[in-house]
Amino acid sequence: MSDERDATGDRGGDGIDRDGGFVSLVGSGPGDPELLTVKARRLLDEADVVLHDKLPGPEILGSIPDEKREDVGKRAGGERTSQEYTNDRLVELAEAGEHVVRLKGGDPFVFGRGGEEAEHLAAHGVPFEVIPGVTSPIAAPGVAGIPVTHRDHASSVSFVTGHEDPTKDESAVDWDALAATGGTIVVLMGVGKLPLYTGELLDAGMAPGTPVALVERGTWPDMRVATGTLADIVDVRDDAGIEPPAITVIGEVAGARDRVVELLRGRGDAEAAANAGVDSGDERAGDADGAAGAGGEDA
């Protein structure tokens, strides 16, 4: 554990004494390393141990020395670390006197289980702090030219997980109510269940022609975007080969992309990328991103 301090006697310059066991719950943003906050970058450099999931992106993870990194990531249907293990590991390291950064994609408290970890740390008497991150349900549509709110089209936005806790008896998402809001619906981790919830929205009376956009790996160099309507977006997904991690944007704002895309840099056209056989957001591939269009946010 490093004993370096600044003139204030704190490990950092923000007035927080991190001497002794301490946990920083840090959001990495959508993955572009330039969207990592200055404070997050400093804490990554100062930390003794970094427990990370799989969504911060290769550029950000690659900037952390291997000896400081522990992968506690999860993938639906694949390799995963239990949340119980992560909770206990945070406490174990902090009680050993380490400054631990728990690095998450997006923002720790937007479908990121940061709330569960904060409660677990508090229950075990472990001091912690929360460092917000740029959240992917806003950032991924934004870089694709889609504003989640627009004065002419949407005065509200709802963030929904498409990957709820499998132990729940029934979904907590009221698709009927969402269909009636008239605002934007942004679904995180919803690629696999796209037919299910688009069907729910159609059954609830949402217009089949409602614009929909899928943003895969938003802000990564290989970002891809595919657009369609509520009626045909499942076929669009399949034709374009859109895969997780991806954000689904449902509502009139998704149509805004068509009006700006010709002048949009890093536009991520899925069809063009497939035809060219190259990374679709590659105007700035030399700057190497890392990014999770699904929001590191993990339900």
Report the first-to-last Cα separation within the chain, whole angstroms. Answer: 32
Please pick, among 32, 53, 289, 298, the residue that the annotation labels catalytic.
Answer: 53
> Catalytic: 17?
no
User: CA–CA separation, 158 vs 246, rounded Å?
Assistant: 16
Query: Rg of the Cα trace of the chain?
Result: 20
Please pick, among 189, 193, 223, 298, the residue that the annotation labels catalytic.
Answer: 189
> Catalytic: 104?
no
User: CA–CA separation, 115 vs 121, rounded Å?
Assistant: 10
b/e map 157-192, b = 16+ CB within 10 Å? bbbbbbbbeeeeeeeebebeebbeeebbbbbbbbbe
DSSP 230: T
CA nearest 243: which of 280, 214, 283, 213?
A: 214
3-state SS class at 282: helix
User: CA–CA separation, 96 vs 111, rounded Å?
Assistant: 29
Please pick, among 19, 39, 68, 74, the residue that the annotation labels catalytic.
Answer: 74
> Catalytic: 53?
yes
State the catalytic residues. Answer: 53, 74, 189
